[in-house]
Amino acid sequence: MNPVFQCGRFEFAISPEPYCPLVMGILNVTPDSFSDGGKFRNLDLALDHAQLMIEAGVDIIDIGGESTRPGSKPLSLQEELDRVMPAVYALRDSGVAISVDTYKPEVMREVIAAGADMVNDIKGFQSRESVSAVADSNVGLCIMHMQKTPETMQTAPAYEDVVSEVHAYFRERLQEFESSGIERARISLDPGFGFGKSLQHNVDLFKKIPYFSDEFGLPLLIGISRKSMIGGLTGKSTDQRLAGSLAGALASVQLGAAIVRVHDVPETVDALKVMRNLI
């Protein structure tokens, strides 16, 4: 695995020590996200929440302006910019890395120019425009796998072999990045739990975290916080998935996750501290 993850102004060591992942905190500035939609749509509330994450020890704050919950419809470019840009401007000098969760090349260009350190693309930079938008920057990148679109992804997702198909997808995307001159130190990979996968697909992929980590030698970003995967395993509603989400984050770290993307930053940081000291 690359010893560092280059993320804009930040260079994160990918620690050889166990149980030392980067913690990415989710900041949804949307009215309709599946878990916390509307809670932080007001900029002041969003910044207050970001400050709580910073005080808790977050490494990266991931700002999302468009809900990608199952069944969600695309958002207009201008509306996404109107939601995301004020948060980027307000947090770019906060002392932590700022990521933006977007698949629109125009948004990528704007947030990079505004000082964002990372772009997290659910569509894996599959368009030439999105690759072009990030190629000449130094921002960190997350290539995520998704089957179909957020609007249709959970309508009977099907694979012959989900692990092999996600592996082939990552290999194809990395070849495209290499041909575009994008440094491997800037790249992380996300198998896309809940994005066009059944519960069994998610479980099968999760158990293969060591395989993906070893095969590509890149940081794996794992995001299962509060997702339907946790609900399916516990039978709990979205607002009752903290314990399951913490267990999932810790399990992913045991298997080799380098970055955990979570809603509950203070609780995750505490759980990791205890884990490091007891195992």
Q: Which residues are marked as active site?
A: 227, 261
For residues 3 and 16, what is the distance between their CA atoms, to the nearest angstrom?
8
- Per-residue CA distances from 211 to 110, 243, 255 (Å): 35, 26, 9
**Could you tell me if 130 and 173 are in contact, meaning their C-beta atoms sit under 8 angstroms apart?**
no
- From CA 37, how far away is CA 166, in angstroms rounded? 29
Per the CB < 8 A criterion, the answer to whether 260 and 249 are in contact is yes
E-state strands within 162-218: 187-190
Cross-strand pairs, 63: 27, 100
Angle at the Cα of 209 (from 207 to 215), degrees rounded to 5? 130
Both tokens assigned to 190: 């996300």
In the chain, the amino acid numbered 54 is I
Provide the CA 3 distance to its chain's centre, in angstroms: 20
Instruction: Return d(Cα 80, Cα 78) in angstroms, integer.
Output: 5
Cα–Cα distance, 217 to 261 (Å, whole number): 19
Rounded Cα distance, 20 and 259, in Å: 9
- Give the chain's end-to-end CA distance (angstroms, integer): 22
